[in-house]
Amino acid sequence: METFKYQTEIDAPAEKVWDILWNEDTYSKWTHFFSPDSQMVTDWKVGGRTYFTDASKKNGMVSTIDKIEENKYLIFKHLGEITDGVEDTESEKVKVWSGSKEAYYLEENNGKTTLKVEVDSDENYKEMFDNGFTKGLQIIKELSEK
């Protein structure tokens, strides 16, 4: 497993960038490069459940929040997948990548925010992440700077 890293500079405070990242109305705008109509449902609790799904909510990933400090960082730990509404956190297929992290770091300085993303994944998914985060971070930047 490798860690892929992405970064952008945004002319907006961290609080606004955080809201664009995780607000229900804007989340799907920057994540649609990974999956059209992406949704995130979370209890916002460390050790709780977070679901990254398609519009049907029957397919996607099951994760947990590993660490969180609002407007500073949010680190997810991926636990498994959801297929046709069934959670899988035990199969050999899932165990290969279970525990991988997806981290978002926001550093504000003089009203500008550096957004850094780190994703643990297999090299086979590098092109998908490169495409998704390159385009997604641009959308986050545009929405935050409005």
Domain extent listing, the chain: 2-144
What's the pLDDT score for residue 55?
82
pTM for the model: 0.92
pLDDT value for 33: 86
What percent of the chain shows pLDDT beyond 90? Answer: 69
Those residues of the chain that have pLDDT short of 70 are: none
pLDDT at 106: 98
Homologous superfamily in CATH for domain 2-144: START domain (3.30.530.20)
For residue 105, list its beta bridge partners: 73, 116
Judge contact between 63 and 78, C-beta under 8 A.
Answer: yes
Q: What is the pLDDT of residue 94?
A: 86
Q: CA-to-CA distance for 141 and 32, rounded, in angstroms? A: 15
In 3-state terms, what secondary structure has residue 72?
coil
| pLDDT of amino acid 96 | 82
